């Protein structure tokens, strides 16, 4: 843009008069010492914001500590649950072994005939011959006595 045109456009803008006392306020600020003149809006707000900022920092710290404590508690409880689950799995394995052993024992046909403190009479039915002389098998039960 040309300088002449810019000057013409600026001259066409309406003039806004300064508020009453503007010049006096500016001159009185110039008379103040340099330290007081530099104190602007931030210098006035800082004392008012210090307490809320400190309270906010304390609140954030408390939330962070609470979150950390809860996370540690969850990790601890998860470790306990894993340990209990491992113990349950081990016990399950032992019970399965015992059940297989019992199934194996139940597959062998035996007959308990009685006894006393010193003597028990148990008959292995797999060894008792049938009347025809053939041995008794699990799929071929022995005759009742």
Residue 43 has pLDDT above 70, yes or no: no
- pTM here is 0.38
Lowest mean pLDDT among 9-18, 33-42, 93-102: 33-42
The enclosing H or E element of 31 equals helix 22-31
Best CA proximity match to 131, nearest among 145, 117, 116: 145
Comparison of pLDDT for 64 and 20, the residue scoring more: 64
Comparison of pLDDT for 139 and 128, the residue scoring more: 128
Residue 13 has pLDDT above 80, yes or no: yes
Lowest mean pLDDT among 12-16, 32-36, 118-122: 32-36
CA torsion sign for 92, 97, 100, 101 is negative
- 35 pLDDT band, cuts 50/70/90, is low
**124 CA to centre of own chain:** 59
- Express each pLDDT in 70-93 by its tens digit: 999 999 999 999 999 999 999 999
Residue 135 has pLDDT above 70, yes or no: no
Span 98-112, average pLDDT: 79
What percentage of the chain carries pLDDT values higher than 70?
81
| Residue 128 CB contacts under 8 Å (≥ 6 apart), including other chains | 135, 136, 142
């Amino acid at each position: 843009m040309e300088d002449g045109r810019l000057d013409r456009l600026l001259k066409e803008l309406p003039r806004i008069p300064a508020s009453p006392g503007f010049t006096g306020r500016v001159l009185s600020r110039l008379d103040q010492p340099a330290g007081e003149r530099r104190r602007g809006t931030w210098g006035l707000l800082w004392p008012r914001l210090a307490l809320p900022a400190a309270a906010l920092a304390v609140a954030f710290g408390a939330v962070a500590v609470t979150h950390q404590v809860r996370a540690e508690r969850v990790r601890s409880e998860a470790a306990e649950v894993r340990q209990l689950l491992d113990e349950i799995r081990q016990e399950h394995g032992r019970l399965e072994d015992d059940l297989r052993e019992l199934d194996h024992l139940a597959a062998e046909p035996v007959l308990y005939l009685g006894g006393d403190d010193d003597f028990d009479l148990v008959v292995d039915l797999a060894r008792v011959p049938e009347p025809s002389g053939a041995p008794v098998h699990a799929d071929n039960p022995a005759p009742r006595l």
